[in-house]
Amino acid sequence: MSILEMTKQEILTLSYDEFSKMVSNLTWEEVMKVSEVVGYPVFTRKCMGDLMHKFVLLQDGAAAAIINEKGEILLQSRADRDMWGVPGGCQEVGERFEDVVIREVKEETNLDVLEDDLELIKLVSGMSRLNSYPNGDVVVNNTAFYLVKKYSGELKWDSESKEMKFFALDNLPENLHDPDLIEEYKKYVKKKKMN
């Protein structure tokens, strides 16, 4: 069976040797198709073999400060750890940051956002974006961080979240996954009020 015919779960169970043998003769277009099945960050890690969790990976992505009519920010309690953070995720090959944030907001919150309603807060990078995950991954998440005030749909969450809740900025939980992004949002609000 070709790796192009495999499901995500089948690809994930391949050993490094099996995976590298199946991928080595693919064209770059076919490699992109495989990475779309498992997700680009997962594909990249599979290519690392034994170094998978030893290598600090640069990941690009996008996140959203979703604000309700009371000025509260939506945070998700992540299923993989006891921490609260803003909705967002990794960029797939060829995706624009706007596409990433719209897709991730939909996947994680069930809310619909239009590109015209996105407002860039800041491109956030550097060591404040260093994260380690329960699966052993260590990454620097370079993040396009957007403000979202207009959205539609019913708030629901997927298996990545235990809970979602809007919080006042002066009453945020202590165990924040993205404290740097929250601080960037606070600075953005303060700057807007001064103008």
List the pLDDT tens digit at each of the 195 positions of the chain: 899 999 999 999 999 999 999 999 999 999 989 998 998 888 888 888 877 777 788 889 999 999 999 999 999 998 878 889 999 999 988 899 999 999 999 999 999 999 999 999 999 998 888 888 777 788 888 999 999 999 999 999 878 788 999 999 999 999 998 899 999 999 999 998 887
b (16+ CB within 10 A) / e for 72-111: bbbbbbbeeeebbbbbbbbbbeebebbebbbbbbbebbeb
Q: Are residues 111 and 154 in the same domain?
A: yes
Residue 58 has what pLDDT?
Answer: 85
Q: Are residues 34 and 87 in the same domain?
A: no
Q: Are residues 39 and 112 in the same domain?
A: no
Cα separation, 182 vs 195, whole angstroms:
20
Element (H, E) at 66: strand 57-66
Residues whose CB falls within 8 Å of the CB of residue 13, separated by 6 or more in sequence, listed in order: none
Structural domain including 9 reads: 3-51
Q: Are residues 37 and 77 in the same domain?
A: no
Q: How many domains does the chain have?
A: 2
Q: Are residues 145 and 63 in the same domain?
A: yes
Q: Are residues 90 and 112 in the same domain?
A: yes
Q: Are residues 129 and 187 in the same domain?
A: yes
Cα separation, 112 vs 116, whole angstroms:
12
